[in-house]
Amino acid sequence: MKNNEKVVIVTSVAAVIALVLDAFMFVQHGHSLTSSSVWPRLLLFIILAVVVNGLSFLKMRFCGYATILVNLYFAIASLAAFQMVSPRESAYGLFIQALSIVGILVGAAGIYYGAKQRTDYTKAKFEKMKEQMKK
């Protein structure tokens, strides 16, 4: 499997986990999911995932950085849910904590694949420069 395919999968999973956790946190704090204050943040997760997934196939210089930053954001959102859930000892709290840990790990994997994406871009540029210097 190519790295850009891994980026798409990991970023999509991290976005879904962050979206679900954020929705649970809104409900926990008394916001209705139909509230106008909830949807802009949830749409932000979707938009960021779509942008990173689209960029992963372009193989441009900044694509790796975008992947790293967005997956870091998703991991931080998962960490925030881990810290803010209450009651922690209930089945609900344990579920949120477990899902948060998975979200943090998936976000970390996205950061790794973003760094690999940047490394692959740099290697390809160096190879291209070597070929041009040989001519």
Domain around 77:
3-134
Calpha distance 87→5 (Å, rounded):
38
Number of domains in the chain: 1
pTM of the model: 0.90
Please report, to the nearest 10 degrees, the dihedral formed by the alpha carbons of residues 97, 66, 4, 128 taken in order: -150
Per-residue model confidence as pLDDT tens digits over 46-100: 999 999 999 988 878 889 999 999 999 999 999 999 999 988 889 999 999 999 9
Count helices and strands in the chain by DSSP H and E runs: 4, 0
pLDDT at 106: 98
Q: What's the number of CA atoms in the CB half-sphere (13 Å) around residue 110?
A: 32
- Buried b / exposed e over 64-73, threshold 16 CB at 10 Å, is bebbbebbbb
pLDDT (0 to 100) of residue 36: 86
Contact 97, 88 (CB under 8 A): yes
Across the range 114-133, mean pLDDT stands at 91
